[in-house]
């Protein structure tokens, strides 16, 4: 008779991160934590690698959003300025209407 393989639980990214954090403590009972979730040490190593890769990627993206981001074309910049101007005028008109309505209520 063939042995039935037990399936490992499918964990969400959030749950994996919670397990990662739980195993980081100085005296964390790693074996017990892994048993609770039906995981092996190799699973924890894969989670650790994923967390490290994710953190590095996120830090790279945050760094590249600053100085090294691509410049906006003059055409796009001017279009955004026009759009902003229209919105500011609309907001000013609404503020005037609000004040008029507020005075009429008094």
pTM of the model: 0.53
Domain boundaries, the chain: 10-68, 71-106
pLDDT per residue as tens digits for the range 6-37: 666 689 999 999 999 999 988 999 999 999 99
Residues whose CB is less than 8 angstroms from the CB of residue 50 and which lie 6 or more positions away in sequence, other chains included: 16
Whether 59 has a pLDDT exceeding 80, the answer reads yes
**pLDDT for residue 62 is more than 80:** no
Residue 17: strand, helix, or coil: helix
**What's the pLDDT band for 66 if we cut at 50, 70, 90?**
low
How far apart are the C-alpha atoms of 42 and 30, rounded to whole Å? Answer: 12
pLDDT for position 72: 79
pLDDT higher than 60, residue 43: yes
């Amino acid at each position: 008779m063939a042995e039935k393989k037990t399936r490992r639980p499918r964990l969400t990214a959030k749950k994996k991160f919670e397990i990662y954090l739980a195993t980081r403590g100085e005296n964390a009972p790693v074996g017990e934590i892994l048993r609770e979730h039906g995981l092996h040490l190799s699973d924890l190593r894969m989670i650790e690698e994923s967390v490290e890769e994710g953190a590095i990627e996120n830090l790279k993206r945050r760094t590249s959003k600053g100085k090294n981001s691509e410049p906006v074309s003059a055409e796009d910049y001017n279009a955004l300025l026009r759009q902003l101007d229209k919105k500011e005028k609309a907001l000013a008109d609404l503020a005037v209407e609000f004040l008029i309505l507020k005075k009429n209520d008094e």
